[in-house]
Chain A
Amino acid sequence: MATFGDPGFHMHAAMGQYLALLAFHLLDDDLIPFDLPNYAIELRAYYEDLVENIDASGEELDVSPIASAIDVFEKRAKEIDAQAKQAVSLGDERLIKLVNSKYRDFQRGFVSQGGLPNREFFKHVVTAPGLDTGMVPSCL
């Protein structure tokens, strides 16, 4: 440890500072610092990868319902983001509280109660380890 890896634990300390600062903002900012429109951007990228994979496989599969779901998601994400910005600029504490409670529960909506087919431990409908990729994620 004195010679290899992270001698002096300097990098370890820097990551400690980073996580502490991240925790601090999540705990103390008036508005939880979430960026929901970015979730829509990422969903769109996962969708494009999915379409590419389907095309490459030569199979026919209609995934357009996913595209329309992402359109709806994107619209709603922009709405809540606008509401959040308005709440902060007006200093409206009740609206900030409302947005915070929606942000806090935001991820819960991606959980499938029954879990993914044949591997119920994994419940997130957007991202999970691929069926044959070990720990590496596979989306949508």
Chain B
Amino acid sequence: MEAEAKYVSSLFCHRDYGADVSYASVLASWDAEEYGLLGSTEWVEEHVNWLTETTVAYLNIDVAVSGPRTVLGATPELHTIATELFKKIVFPNFGSFNKSLYDAWQDDNAGEAHVEVLGSGSDFTAFLHSGISSVCSSSACALHN
């Protein structure tokens, strides 16, 4: 969460952009995910009219500090951009900076990694079922031994 906030602010507060982006963004951290997505669901229900009138997309990260293997899920209209940008971030790779998150993702899945279909089990659920384009990401699981 802290890392996301830091990078979002560093991109958006760059002097060339400032408050000049076309849309507003909201950064949120949810309570009670494991208890039944309570925090995010309550928030979506509270603000559903505003959200369905204005929202372009919802980006989710769940299991954010757990390991080097990534999982990516999204509604299909976001597959292309989500995959393309995955190629632009350097995979930390324990100090060897020669591959992208996309490369590492493919390596972990024998070259057959694909953007998954969203089911439930994370805080995008209330957004998705209110008709909001969603992405769900995580960096989970230890490497195979």
Flag A42-83 by CB within 8 Å of B: 1 or 0 each.
110000000000000000000000000000000000000000
Instruction: Flag whether B106 is at the interface (Cβ < 8 A).
Output: no
**Main SS of chain A's interface residues?**
helix
B37-75, CB < 8 A from A: 52, 54-57, 59, 61, 64-68, 70, 75
Number of interface residues, chain A, beta carbon within 8 A:
57
Number of interface residues, chain B, beta carbon within 8 A:
59
Known A5-B65, A14-B101, A20-B4: A124·B77 in contact at CB below 8 Å: no
B61 touches A127 (CB 8 A): no
With A and B bound together, what is the CA distance between A103 and B80 in angstroms? 15
Q: Which residue of A lies closest to B141 (CB)?
A: A5
A21 touches B85 (CB 8 A): yes
Q: Using a CB–CB distance below 8 Å, which chain B residues touch chain A?
A: 3-4, 6-8, 10-12, 17, 21-23, 25, 52, 54-57, 59, 61, 64-68, 70, 75-82, 85-86, 88-92, 101, 116-121, 128-133, 135, 137-139, 142
Query: What are some 25 contacts across the A-B interface (CB < 8 A)?
Result: A6-B68, A9-B3, A10-B92, A12-B3, A12-B64, A13-B7, A17-B7, A18-B86, A18-B137, A21-B11, A21-B89, A22-B135, A25-B81, A27-B23, A27-B25, A28-B21, A28-B22, A35-B76, A35-B77, A36-B77, A38-B79, A38-B80, A121-B129, A127-B117, A129-B121
